[in-house]
Structure formats: C-alpha cells, structure tokens
C-alpha cells in the first residue's frame, strides 16, 4: 500500500500538488473579490493542515506564517506560489525555479472566472 513515508510516493504527491497550486493561481482573478481572496487564503491554510505528509505539512505551516499567502491579484498569487515552492526547493537542495514565465507555464486554458476581458461570452 502507499505509505507516505515512501520517498517515491511523497515526490509524486508533491509534483501533483504543486501542479494544482500553480495552475490554480495562474487562473486566479486579476481583480479578486473579498470572498475570492478569503477563499484562496483559507485554501492554503487548510492545505497546510490536511496535506497527507506530516513533515511537509509542518514545514509548510511555518512557511505560511513567515510568508503569508498573497491574494490581491493573479500576479501576486502566482509569484507568491512560485516563491514558496522555491523555499521548499531550497530546503530540499533543489534548483531555484525562474518565476518570470510562470503565467505561461501553468496556463491550462480552462479559465472559468468572469474576471477576464472576454467575460461577456462566459455564459456561452
Ligand atoms: P517539484 O518540486 O515537485 O516540482 C514539479 C515541477 O514544477 C518541476 O519539475 C518544475 O517544472 C516546476 N517547478 C519547480 N519549482 C517551481 C517553482 N518554484 N514554481 C513553479 N514551478 C516550479 N518533500 C519533502 O521531501 N519534504 C518536505 O518537507 C516537503 N514539503 C512539501 C510541501 C508542499 C506544500 C508540497 C506541495 C510538497 C512538498 N514536498 C516535500 C515535495 C517536494 O516539494 C517535491 O514535490 C518532490 O520532492 C518532487 O520534486 P520534483 O523535483 O519532482 O519537483
């Protein structure tokens, strides 16, 4: 069975989670509402409590205290997520990732918010 103490399982979970986090922030609104900001903030707080790797969760909670999630815009959230991932990379002795093209890399083309320029066609 898949024990999270297993390094391969832990890495696979990490890759999947980072993919979700970066794709989420790349799709986050340019101009979020108060509710949207609260939702993203809470998502990260809850993730840091529920993440199914105890060591990772504990460390992530410390990172969130030190570097609170930036929720004011898509750019702010994406850059914050890239920076926090780099903090984990640094701790694990991995290369630091260049955050300048983060938007293109994680654009899934699956935007469903009404905060974009083409919001008039969002109801299809
Ligand atoms: P990953 O770090 O998983 O990255 C996947 C891909 O994302 C990379 O191949 C690259 O294309 C891209 N990428 C790399 N850096 C960035 C960046 N800064 N911004 C955007 N994209 C980037 N593992 C532990 O052993 N100990 C821990 O304490 C730990 N804590 C974690 C905490 C969290 C919240 C998460 C999500 C994961 C954690 N992990 C931890 C797992 C670890 O971060 C890696 O996911 C895992 O080691 C696999 O690494 P990887 O080299 O395949 O690339």
- Answer whether 113 contacts ligand 1 (Cβ < 6 A): no
pLDDT confidence of residue 120: 46
Instruction: Record the pTM.
Output: 0.90
* Closest protein CA for atom 35 of ligand 1: 14
Per-residue pLDDT of 72-87, as tens digits, reads 999 999 999 999 999 9
Q: Domain 14-108 is of which CATH architecture?
A: Up-down Bundle (1.20)
Q: Which residues contact 37 (CB under 8 A, 6 or more apart)?
A: 71, 72
Q: What is the mean pLDDT of each run of 10 residues along the chain (124 residues)?
A: 71 97 97 98 98 96 98 98 98 98 90 53 43
pLDDT confidence of residue 11: 96
Count CA atoms closer than 13 A to 20's CA, side-chain side.
10
What is the number of the ligand 1 atom nearest to the C-alpha of 22? 20
- Answer whether 22 contacts ligand 1 (Cβ < 6 A): yes
pLDDT confidence of residue 46: 98
pLDDT confidence of residue 108: 87
Domains of the chain, residue spans: 14-108
Q: Which residues contact 31 (CB under 8 A, 6 or more apart)?
A: 73, 115
CA 81 to centroid of ligand 1, rounded, Å: 11
Per-residue pLDDT of 25-38, as tens digits, reads 999 999 999 999 99
CA 117 to centroid of ligand 1, rounded, Å: 32
Helices (H), the chain: 7-27, 34-50, 54-66, 74-91, 102-105
CA 92 to centroid of ligand 1, rounded, Å: 9
With a threshold of 0.95, tell me whether the complex ipTM lies above it: yes
Which sign does the torsion angle of CA 122, 108, 70, 61 carry? positive
């Amino acid at each position: 069975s898949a024990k999270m103490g297993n390094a391969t399982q832990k890495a696979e979970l990490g890759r999947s989670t980072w993919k979700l986090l970066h794709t989420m922030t790349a799709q986050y609104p340019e101009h979020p509402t108060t509710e949207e900001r609260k939702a993203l903030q809470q998502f990260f707080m809850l993730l840091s409590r529920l993440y199914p790797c105890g060591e990772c969760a504990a460390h992530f909670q410390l990172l969130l205290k030190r570097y609170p999630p930036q929720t004011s815009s898509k750019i702010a959230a994406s850059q914050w997520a890239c920076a926090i991932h780099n903090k984990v990379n640094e701790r694990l002795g991995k290369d630091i990732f260049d955050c300048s093209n983060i938007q293109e890399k994680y654009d899934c083309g699956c935007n469903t918010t009404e905060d974009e320029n083409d919001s008039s066609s969002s109801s299809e």
